[in-house]
Structure 1
Amino acid sequence: MSAAGRFPPARDDAPLVVFDFDHTLYDGDSGSHLFAWLIKRSWWRPLLALLIAPVFGPLIAFLPTRRVGISGFVWVGSIGMGGRREFDAAIDRYVAAHTDEIRHRLLPVALDVLHHHRERGDRVVIATGAPPELARAILAFVAHEDVPVVGTLVGPRLGAVGALRHCHSEMKMTMLRQAGYTAPVEVAYSDSSADLPLLKAARRPVVVNPKARRIPLFRRVLPPGTPILNWGCPGRGGDPVASAA
């Protein structure tokens, strides 16, 4: 049965629930996995990636420069693509070729929580720093979900594909509002300190699968009693949760 047949349609006035994707629903960084595959498609792309690594690699380690660092490897993986349509087609091929691997990375507890909200008729949206077609394809092809996705806007850049608007930090809130999600956020789920604008905006923030070293920050800036959970993401912090119940 399709997801549309399993869940009642969300009411326009239903509570708005926002999920991050990477390290929240998906164990890992889906964009990095995609671009590693794109780079490995040709013998010369890994060599080019090695050439730029001394410059772009260190930038990824720091939040203010991470976008620039990642963009270098995105450029290597997408050289020759004519635009978003070709890029989205490559994403669909990647997901279709890695269905089993991706299925193992989707966190069962996270999907159960997602289903719980949909069963209640809540208005659920995924907001991710990954390209929206990637999260959409993973959820549709692998998990048979039809949840709307707001993500990083990509387009032609320097003979390849690059981020035109990065759905990240404060911009994530801006892009959600511009996509029509203007109601107050009732519940937000995320692992990342970059999503503090989203978590702070939510009436009920929930931190899931955070890096252990970030937990003191979350406890300091979010309301007392904010749940900090681990939904089965190895190597991440939070109180272990065995099931959505």
Structure 2
Amino acid sequence: MEGGAGYPAPAADAPLVVFDFDHTLYDGDSGSHLFAWLIKRNPLRLLMALLLTPLLGPLVAMLPTRRYGISGYVWIASFGMRGAQEFNRWIDRYVVTHEASIRARLLPHALEVFAGHRRAGDRVVVATGAPPELARAILAFVAHEDVPVVGTLVGPKLGAITAKRHCHNVEKMRMLAELGYADIAVAYSDSTADLPLLKAARSPVVVNPKPKRVALFHEVLPAGTPILNWGCHDRGGQPLD
């Protein structure tokens, strides 16, 4: 029996492998690229973003308040949208009209590792802070649209769309567990925000970390944890041969 794109359908007890998306499979922050495009399309949204960045920027920069800052930018980018369905249609439009640049940001080695787990029959899940529709649409370019994606849930608020549940840090773990993804064999991520995920995995793998975070990963993760660079030139980790 085969799964999507010719991959074998994983057994219920197959090893669970969780991939982060941004800076792991994709070189950059996919959500920021989407929201920047939405904001720049409208002069009023752009002005509002410029005026509020002194407030929202520091919130995004700090882990405890990041979700509030991101929600603010999402609200600005989606002002006038009536619901998640309309928001998802704009995501699909963005992905289709930016196919070339998005494809260029998908990391070939990361995708080969991703496909290797699927060929092995592992249960592969993407868990991302980005809207799930965005990750799904991008993965469709490389025939992985059937992979489950757990991402930030959005909904209408005050005339726009905001993050209702941010798939980030410990909340990412809660969202995975609620969907039955609890016993994690392997986890791949670039971010210290995903330390709960990496610590929960029997075999954590750090990919494309910020150079200044490498020492922290060495300190808090088990000895011998791979810390690799899969092609993000401005990131740390052991480079590909």
Contact 1:91–1:133, Cα closer than 8 Å, also in 2: yes
Contact 1:188–1:205, Cα closer than 8 Å, also in 2: yes
Corresponding position of 1:229: 228
| Map 1:17-166 → 2, pairs under 5 A | 17-140=17-140, 142-145=141-144, 146-166=146-166
Local SS of the residue matching 2:64: helix
Contact 1:188–1:206, Cα closer than 8 Å, also in 2: yes
Q: Runs of at least 4 residues of structure 1 off by over 2 A?
A: none
Contact 2:5–2:143, Cα closer than 8 Å, also in 1: no
Distance 2:222 2:58 in 1: 34
Tell whether 2:196 aligns with 1:211: no
Deviation of 1:56 after TM superposition, in Å, equals 1.3
Distance 2:200 2:48 in 1: 41
Deviation of 1:6 after TM superposition, in Å, equals 2.4
Under a length normalisation based on structure 2, what TM-score does the superposition of the two structures give? 0.96
Deviation of 1:58 after TM superposition, in Å, equals 2.2
Cα root mean square deviation, aligned: 1.3
Q: Which amino acid aligns with 2:101?
A: E
Distance 1:199 1:94 in 2: 31
Q: Which amino acid aligns with 2:220?
A: V
Corresponding position of 2:14: 14
Deviation of 1:5 after TM superposition, in Å, equals 3.5
Q: Tell me the alpha carbon deviations over residues 174-204 of structure 1, each in whole angstroms, 9 at most, x when there is no partner.
A: 100112223x100000000010000000000
Q: Which amino acid aligns with 1:113?
A: V
Deviation of 1:171 after TM superposition, in Å, equals 0.7
Deviation of 1:3 after TM superposition, in Å, equals 7.6
Task: Work out the number of aligned pairs and report it.
Answer: 239
Q: Which amino acid aligns with 2:203?
A: R
Distance 2:3 2:159 in 1: 38
Contact 1:189–1:206, Cα closer than 8 Å, also in 2: yes
Corresponding position of 2:196: 197
Which range is displaced more, 72-81 or 95-104?
72-81
Distance 2:158 2:223 in 1: 47
User: Among the aligned pairs, what percent are the same residue?
Assistant: 67
For structure 2, the 5+ residue unaligned runs are none
Q: Which amino acid aligns with 1:114?
A: F
Contact 1:3–1:144, Cα closer than 8 Å, also in 2: no
